[in-house]
Structure formats: structure tokens, C-alpha cells
Amino acid sequence: MIRSNHLISLILNLVLGLIAIALLFPLIFVLITAFAPATFNPSEGLLPKTWTLDNFQKAWQQGEFLLAFFNSALVAIAVTGCQLFTSALAGYALARLNFRGRNGVLLIVLATLIIPFQLLVIPIFLVLKWGHLVNTYGALILPTAANGFGIFLIRQYIQTIPIELEEAATLDGANRLQVLGYIILPLTSPALVTLFIFTFIGEWNDLFKPLIFITRPELKTVQLVLAGFQEQFTADWSLLMAAVAIATIPVMILFAIAQQQLIRGVAATGMKN
């Protein structure tokens, strides 16, 4: 019996290892090609004969990644901050406040999750044009400053927190905002970190909004730079992969730092309806 369990565990680990290798293969291919010379041909061998950093230097300079990194980071941080703020307030209200129509509001929030952003792009563009926000940072930040997924995520997590903690704080004289700031938000940190990661990565990788709302070169984001590389260097795979690797570094660092909080947040949000 023990040998059978050990064999099953070994086979399971082997299968999971093969799946992990298959999922990581595109990233490995990107890194290998990025460090290879321009003449590298994968059909002639899996690994290049020589390795170089010239592709990274050339991609950084030609793509003006410093400006693109600043714009993408500014937009991603601003949108993430807005979503954390709006999701915390709305999620707490839907989880704890008893008001008429609360279930209806929750259904409307959930309904927004099935509406593609592309379907709303024309009315959003008209509103931004009316507000003279096209070709500004506001056009990249305001359309996604609030999100139904974030509201639902925080609401679900708050429902896992014992309400007795809030009742005790209320008896001690704390008001709603104090309860939210000193009790709920600290206990909700795994869900907030999860929302931070999802939102930051989503905004960092977003190409649609910059492509539609931005034409000024000084406002270009990382994804616009990558799109330009795809059009300009279709034959130079080493340079293109170096640009992809540069754009991926911030996301990989963020995920490596916060992966434990991400797992905890995702696991806890489905514990209670």
C-alpha cells in the first residue's frame, strides 16, 4: 500500500513537472532567443553557439523603454490605487451594510463582468472627448478606475471575517470608517494584494486603451512599444524577444514578491457566499 501511494505520488509529480515545463517553454524560448545573435536559427539547434547582451541594449535604446516604463508604471499604479479604493468601499458596503436594493446592486456589479470593454469603447471615447481627456493620462486611468471584479473579490473576502470583531469595535466607540480602516482593511490584505497584482498586470499588459485613446508619442506605453517592434522588426527575432523580455521583467518581479499573498487571497475569496 505504501509503495503504491509512493508510486502514485511519483507519477503525479512527474506529470506536473512535464506540465510545468510545457507552460514555461515559451518563456524559455523568449530568453534563449533574446540572448542569441541576430543570425540564430532555432531549426539549426536549440541553443545558440554564442550569447550576447547587444539585443537588450539595442531594444532598450530603439524602443525608448525608459519613457514607456514610466508611462506604464504611472498608469498601472494609478488605476490599481483607484480600484483598491473603490473596491474596498463598495465591497464593504455590499458585505456589511443592510440597505434596500443591496442584492440588486450586487447583481448589477456582477453583470458588468460579462460586458467586454471593447463594447463600451465608443461611448467611453465620446465621454473622454467631451471632457478633453483624449491623449492624456486621464484617458488611460479613468475608464478602469473601478471594476466589478475587484468589488466582488473584496466583498467575498470581507464576508469571511467574523462580524463580532466589528461589533466589538462599535461598542468601543468606533464608527464605520474607523472599523473599515483599522479592522477590515488590515484583515483583508490578502485580497487587496490579489487585486493589486491582477490589476497591475492587467494594466501593464493592456494594449487596447493606449491604442484607441493615445496618439502622442510621449504617452506611449510598454505595450505600444512592443506593437511597434512587431511591425518594425518582424525578421529580427532576437531583438523582438529581447524587447518582450524587458517588458516582462517588472511583472515577474511583482509576482515573485507577492505570490504567497496572491494564493491566500484567491483561496479565501470563495469560502463564503
Residue 115 lies in a domain: yes
Rounded to an integer, the average pLDDT of 127-152 is: 92
Residue 4 lies in a domain: no
Which cell numbers in the block locate residue 136? 492624456
Is residue 8 within 8 A of residue 215, CB to CB? The reply is no
Residue 71 lies in a domain: yes
> Which helix (H) or strand (E) covers residue 38, if one does?
none
pLDDT of the residue at 16 = 85
Residue 9, CB-side half-sphere exposure with 13 Å CA sphere: 6
Residue 132 lies in a domain: yes
What is the overall mean pLDDT for the chain?
A: 83
| pTM to 2 decimal places | 0.82
pLDDT above 50: residue 196:
yes
Q: Which residues lie below 8 Å from residue 253, measured CB to CB, with a gap of 6+?
A: none
Residue 145 lies in a domain: yes
Residue-level length of the chain? 273
Residue 261 lies in a domain: yes
pLDDT above 70: residue 2:
no
Residue 149 lies in a domain: yes
The CATH number for 161's domain is: 1.10.3720.10
DSSP class of residue 273 equals -
In Å, how far from its chain's centre is CA 79? 11
Domain span including residue 74: 60-268
| Distance separating alpha carbons of residues 131 and 138, to the nearest angstrom | 10
Question: Which contacts qualify for 54-59: CB closer than 8 Å, 24 or more apart?
Answer: 55/238, 55/239, 55/241, 55/242, 56/242, 56/245, 56/246, 58/239, 58/242, 59/229, 59/239, 59/242, 59/243, 59/246
Which cell numbers in the block locate residue 184? 477590515
Which cell numbers in the block locate residue 188? 483583508
| Distance separating alpha carbons of residues 126 and 12, to the nearest angstrom | 54
pLDDT above 60: residue 215:
yes
How many structural domains comprise the chain? 1
Rounded to an integer, the average pLDDT of 115-131 is: 89
Residue 32 lies in a domain: no
Comparing 258 with 106, which gets the higher pLDDT? Answer: 106
Confidence at 50, pLDDT banded by 50, 70, 90? confident
Nearest to 228 by CA among 75, 17, 99, 65: 65
